[in-house]
Amino acid sequence: MRSGVTVNNSRVAVVVGGGSGIGKAIAGALHEDGYRVTVADVNGPAAQAVAAEFGGHSEAVDVTDEARVEALFTGVREREGAVHVVVNTVGLSGWSPVVDHDVAQFRTVIDVNLVGAFLVLKHGGRVVEDGGALVSLTSLNGRQPGEGLAAYCSAKAGLSMLTQVAALELASRGVRVNAVAPGLVITPLTEGMQVIPGVTEDYLDNTPLGRAGLPEEVADAVVFLCSDRATWITGEVLDMNGGAHMMRYPRLRTHFAGLL
């Protein structure tokens, strides 16, 4: 059991994007802290596999489908009797210079990362119990631009502000709304980038602590923000990147040049 975190055996959590990577680690950490966890993911079999590890429920959900997102939260509330914690970890990226960016691709990245996060906050915020917590995963790219990442950076910056607006609006119910902004974490979302020569090294050269993060480390931060140890924290976007936000972002165009 994680030391210093309140155990809530009667509490219910929903982890959206919990089928792999950081979301999977968060789902497991919340279960370990005693939450009854529903794992939702666009990849239904992956969500089912994660939930099966601890006897939780799973749902196949596309966060850009509002009807499906709404049904997820109303269904969990009806089945469990309440929702106390909502965590959204869904992410999608791509690479293209602004002047060459396909509009449809740009919209897809915005839809998944920002509109999807809005829908989770909207419908999760409607059903979450007073005094509950909502946490989103934004990114180092919410504050640090990267060449070729116009859509992703824009979406994550927007999510940081959306987090603060939602925190203002839900504060009267005692609902806390926060975000965690990881830097380089080794997950399925980042594995494609890691095979490009020089990119990972450039990241780590610009990370004062000199290493990538682990999904479990991000999960620990999320569990804290959901716990009774964080009842006076809201509207926070927690930088969690080994200090990389104090330095520069990798020069992606240089590393990608030989692949274009």
Catalytic center residues: 152
Angstrom distance (rounded) from CA 64 to CA 69: 8
The phi, psi pair for 7, rounded to 5°, reads: -90, 130
Bridge partners of 118, per DSSP, are none
Residue type, 103: V
Q: Are 138 and 159 in contact (CB under 8 A)?
A: yes
> What is the Cβ-side half-sphere exposure of residue 251, based on CA atoms within 13 angstroms?
3
Q: How many CB atoms lie within 10 A of CB 211?
A: 11
Rounded CA gap, 238 and 136, in Å?
10
By C-alpha distance, which of 154, 141, 163, 156 is closest to 244?
141
d(CA 9, CA 31): 9
Q: Which residues of 179-189 are buried (b: 16+ CB within 10 A; e: fewer)?
A: bbbbbbbebeb
* DSSP, res 195: T
Residue 33 to residue 5: CA distance in whole angstroms: 7
Q: Which helix (H) or strand (E) holds 180?
A: strand 176-182
